[in-house]
A and B are shown apart, each in its own frame.
Chain A
């Protein structure tokens, strides 16, 4: 069964550095999402992406964050000037149409030191 794949599985970074989290959505899916889950807290929506542009973003997704689909397969989340509070599990999701459920990758655990 097709899967959403995320790399790396764990990223450790010094505070203030930039990180790029990578996702390969399911092939032929058109809608892409990033979520984060701080340890012990709810999953939170960050951003949705369709037709090569952001369609929605939450208050969390400020100028520190950006997303890109640099080629036909990858979907990346860039976090600039990382802070301690950016430490979380980051999930990528994709779906084919808005009438289908979102399918999630295994996540990247980001640890900011």
Chain B
């Protein structure tokens, strides 16, 4: 059965810290891995990763995929209170284009 596992499930850090969120997967016919940020409502898109070893960056956020070891990490540097959210990892398969979701990492940034 396809699955996506995120760790840690929750994380509390202080403003200014750097955090690393993990996502491992076992998905047949892997196509892409996506990171979303969910605050109160809609998951908002962060990154879409399809190739191994190529880092994607957006401001203080970056992400990389390892297709050999079947995982991805999401890094956030110089964290701010506005980074507090649930970060969701989802994997898409070639076979059906469905998104298979992890349980999310709840990140809390303390001032």
Contact = CB atoms under 8 A, between A and B. Distances in A.
A43 B101 contact: yes
A50 to B, nearest CB: 9
Nearest to B50: A99
Interface residues of B, number: 19
A101 B42 contact: no
Interface stretch (A12-20, A71-79, A103-111): A103-111
Contacts of A39: none
Interface stretch (B12-20, B21-29, B59-67, B92-100): B92-100
B85 to A, nearest CB: 14
Find the residue from B43, B44, B101, B104 having the highest chain A CB count within 10 A: B43
A41 B101 CA distance: 10
B97 A48 contact: yes
A41 B96 CA distance: 22
Interface string B35-53: 0100001111100100000
A106 B42 contact: yes
A102 interface: yes
A45 interface: yes
14 contacts: A4-B42, A42-B103, A43-B88, A43-B99, A45-B98, A91-B42, A98-B97, A101-B45, A102-B34, A102-B99, A104-B45, A105-B42, A106-B41, A106-B42
Interface of B: 34, 36, 41-45, 48, 88, 90, 96-104
Given A56-B96, A101-B45, A106-B42, 12 more contacts: A42-B103, A43-B99, A43-B101, A45-B99, A45-B100, A48-B97, A56-B97, A56-B98, A102-B34, A105-B42, A106-B41, A107-B42
